[in-house]
A and B are shown apart, each in its own frame.
Chain A
Amino acid sequence: KAGVTQTPRYLIKTRGQQVTLSCSPISGHRSVSWYQQTPGQGLQFLFEYFSETQRNKGNFPGRFSGRQFSNSRSEMNVSTLELGDSALYLCASSLTRTGRNEQFFGPGTRLTVL
């Protein structure tokens, strides 16, 4: 069974631009969560999508948004990029809503904002 895939793996953008990251969950998994990992902050929860609906949202500004498609694939968008958005963005999928269900992480997208 294929794991969680994220594209692209690396991305370089400049301040003010916008970016879209993609995540394909494990086949059959319906929940996708997104996290931002930065040094010193660990993994910070962005949002969770289940059945195409955002079910939970972390404490991030509105520049961060996402969506989930009917095939459970998810995209995350960041508009008006700032230098502080440079981070590793991880998505994780689980069979149903996150909780006691194990989350399976993708390798992440490394975003660098110049």
Chain B
Amino acid sequence: DQQVKQNSPSLSVQEGRISILNCDYTNSMFDYFLWYKKYPAEGPTFLISISSIKDKNEDGRFTVFLNKSAKHLSLHIVPSQPGDSAVYFCAAFNTGNQFYFGTGTSLTVIP
């Protein structure tokens, strides 16, 4: 039972343009959401997070948007750079419980 879904396995974007990665979840009890970035042969690294009491969190080129009514979050990367090419995982957490990860979206930024 996949409680966190990333329906786009891959995404290609031109350098300098916006990358939008999407994530949907089913459990309304999730109260904390994160994005991780993973390069080949390395473990995922934390990118940005958002609490369920907010609808937006920004950190440099990265912005995460949360739409609780739609149970949807998205990660915007502006402007996209070739070094952003990686697999991006969204994750959701329910306090006192465990992390649930999506299946990942492979982003390729074309120079």
Choose among B2, B44, B49 the residue that contacts A105 (Cβ–Cβ < 8 A). Answer: B44
Q: Type the 1/0 row for A82-98, where 1 means its CB is closer than 8 Å to any CB of B.
A: 00000000101000001
Indicate if the CB atoms of A45 and B98 lie closer than 8 Å.
yes
- Interface extent on A, as a size class? 20 to 34
**Interface presence of B65 (CB below 8 A):** no
Who on chain B is nearest to A88 by CB?
Answer: B43
Contact A45 B99 (CB under 8 A): yes
Contacts of B99 in A (CB 8 A): 33, 43, 45, 98, 103
A-B contact count (CB 8 A): 58
Q: Does A62 contact B (CB under 8 A)?
A: no
Among B42, B45, B104, contact of A42 (Cβ-Cβ < 8 Å): B104
Interface: A25 (CB within 8 A): no
Cβ-closest chain B residue relative to A108: B43
Please state if B43 and A92 are interface contacts (CB–CB under 8 Å): yes
A100 at the interface (CB under 8 A from B): yes
B89 contacts chain A at the CB level, 8 A cutoff: yes
Q: Which residues of A contact B103 (CB under 8 A)?
A: 40-42
Instruction: Across the interface, name the chain B residue whose C-beta is closest to A110.
Output: B41
Tell me, yes or no, whether B62 is within 8 Å of chain A by CB: no
CB atoms of A58 and B45 under 8 A apart: no
In B16-55, which residues have CB < 8 Å from any A CB? Answer: 32, 36, 41-46, 49, 51
Q: Do A56 and B97 touch (CB < 8 A)?
A: yes
Q: Are B43 and A99 in contact, with the CB atoms below 8 A?
A: no
Please report the C-alpha to C-alpha distance between residue A39 and residue B101 in the assembled complex, in whole angstroms.
Answer: 13
User: Interface readout for A22-39 with B: 1 if CB under 8 Å, 0 if not?
Assistant: 000000000001010000
State whether A56 and B43 are in contact (beta carbons under 8 Å apart), knowing that A99-B32, A100-B32 are contacts in the complex.
Answer: no
| Structural contact, A90 and B98, CB atoms closer than 8 A | no
- Lowest 7 CB-CB distances: which A-B pairs, in order? A105-B43, A43-B101, A42-B103, A45-B98, A42-B101, A105-B44, A102-B46
Besides A43-B44, A99-B96, A100-B93, 4 more A-B contacts (Cβ < 8 Å) are: A42-B2, A42-B4, A43-B91, A45-B101
